[in-house]
């Protein structure tokens, strides 16, 4: 019985539990709002690149080979 009381009062593992719960909440929010986040990031990239929304690796490689007159 004394062992159970010590275990109940022991707080050593509480940090791990808190981190797992916070991580689960963040992942859940990311899944719920993924379309809105994707749209935000796409608009942000478009504003930075001057309207170009194709930021695939092929487009980036080809942009480096563009001929400037």
User: Exposed, middle or buried, 39 (CB in 10 Å: 0-12/13-18/19+)?
Assistant: exposed
Whole-number Å distance between alpha carbons of 67 and 65: 6
- Predicted local confidence at residue 47, as pLDDT: 83
User: What are the boundaries of each domain within the chain?
Assistant: 20-63
- Predicted local confidence at residue 56, as pLDDT: 65
Q: What are phi and psi of 56, to 5 degrees?
A: -70, 165
- Predicted local confidence at residue 31, as pLDDT: 93
- Predicted local confidence at residue 8, as pLDDT: 73
Mean pLDDT in each 10-residue stretch from start to end of the chain (69 residues)?
78 78 94 89 81 64 60
Tell me, yes or no, if the pTM score tops 0.85: no
């Amino acid at each position: 019985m004394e062992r159970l009381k010590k275990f109940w009062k022991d707080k050593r593992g509480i940090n791990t539990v808190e981190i797992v719960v916070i991580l689960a909440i963040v992942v859940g929010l990311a899944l719920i709002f993924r379309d809105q986040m994707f749209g935000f990031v796409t608009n942000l990239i478009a504003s930075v690149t001057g309207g170009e929304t194709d930021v695939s690796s092929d487009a980036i490689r080809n942009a480096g080979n563009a001929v400037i007159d």
